């Protein structure tokens, strides 16, 4: 039975997909079925490039796309960007963003490079992909590199202590931003006060809806997890352990 909510929101990595992996056809089909009946929002610390790799491929080239794609809203970089599908142009169009000052971004990049050069945090000398990534509204720091296998990322900082030390070092030097510990090994730098809860509530405000109109599904709803701010904000949540459990939840709604 469908929840009595106007919006169903999902985290991407670890919830709808295995980290950095393409969504399965099964989960994509379930999301399509859900989006024919509800507004479906996908939020992630990743940027649109990640959505194009992990989430969107099964949705394009589908002749039946129109009935549900207008109900899909993408919120990259923790909701500091919003994309909606323009049916005339047949492309995802940026409809809102929370800017991050260019000067602050450059200072953040220099400070992160100093972290790398310090030799204090066991940062690998052979990263796989970019370590410091400019995502326009967000700077993401991934010591193993963005394209590193998930196992390597988890091994680098399994207890989050290295990232906590880096955050504690950088925070006094970057008072204009928030440094969020996200994913398996990343730190995301966003405008002060921004997190997934803020991204979702901005969307609710735009749609003239209340928090009670939304249900959120995520895999990191524990204290310190990158979905926990949504729970703290008072939005109803469902915690899952991965895409298979998410599929089971959606199947109960649309089956």
What pTM did the predictor assign? 0.90
The pLDDT tens digits of the residues spanning 136-190 come to: 999 999 999 988 988 888 899 999 999 999 999 999 999 999 999 987 899 999 9
Residue 66: pLDDT band (50, 70, 90) is: low
Q: How far apart are CA 176 and CA 165, in angstroms?
A: 19
**E strand segments, 12-151:** 39-43, 72-75, 81-86, 91-97, 132-134, 139-141
Residue 20: pLDDT band (50, 70, 90) is: confident
- Flag whether pLDDT at 62 surpasses 70: no
Q: How far apart are CA 22 and CA 80, in angstroms?
A: 23
Per-residue pLDDT at 110? 97
Q: Which residues contact 126 (CB under 8 A, 6 or more apart)?
A: none
- Tell which residue, 5, 72, 87, has the closest CA to residue 36: 72
Could you tell me if 136 and 47 are in contact, meaning their C-beta atoms sit under 8 angstroms apart?
yes
- Flag whether pLDDT at 124 surpasses 60: yes
Higher pLDDT, 182 or 110: 110
Domains and CATH numbers, the chain: 7-98+194-254 (3.40.50.1000), 102-191 (3.30.1240.20)
């Amino acid at each position: 039975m469908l929840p009595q909510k106007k919006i169903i929101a999902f985290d991407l990595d670890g919830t709808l997909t295995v980290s950095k992996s393409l969504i399965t056809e099964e989960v994509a089909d379930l999301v399509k079925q859900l989006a024919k009946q509800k507004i479906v929002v996908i939020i992630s610390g990743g940027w649109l490039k990640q959505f194009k790799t992990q989430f969107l491929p099964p949705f394009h080239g589908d002749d039946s796309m129109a009935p549900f794609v207008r109900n899909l809203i993408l919120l990259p970089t923790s909701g500091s960007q919003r994309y909606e599908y323009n049916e005339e142009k047949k492309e995802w169009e940026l409809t809102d963003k929370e800017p991050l000052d260019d000067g602050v971004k450059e200072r953040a990049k220099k400070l992160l490079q100093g972290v790398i050069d310090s030799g204090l945090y066991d940062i690998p000398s052979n990263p796989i992909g970019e370590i410091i990534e400019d995502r326009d509204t967000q700077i993401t720091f991934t010591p193993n590199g963005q394209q590193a296998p998930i196992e390597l990322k988890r091994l680098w900082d399994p207890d989050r202590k290295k990232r906590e030390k880096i955050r504690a070092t950088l925070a006094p030097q970057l008072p204009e931003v928030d440094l969020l510990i996200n994913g398996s090994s990343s730190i995301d730098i966003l405008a002060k006060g921004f997190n997934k809860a803020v991204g979702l509530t901005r969307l609710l405000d735009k749609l003239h809806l209340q928090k009670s109109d939304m249900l959120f599904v995520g895999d990191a709803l524990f204290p310190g997890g990158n979905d926990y701010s949504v729970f703290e904000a008072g939005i109803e949540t469902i915690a899952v352990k991965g895409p298979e459990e998410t599929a089971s939840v959606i199947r109960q709604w649309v089956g």
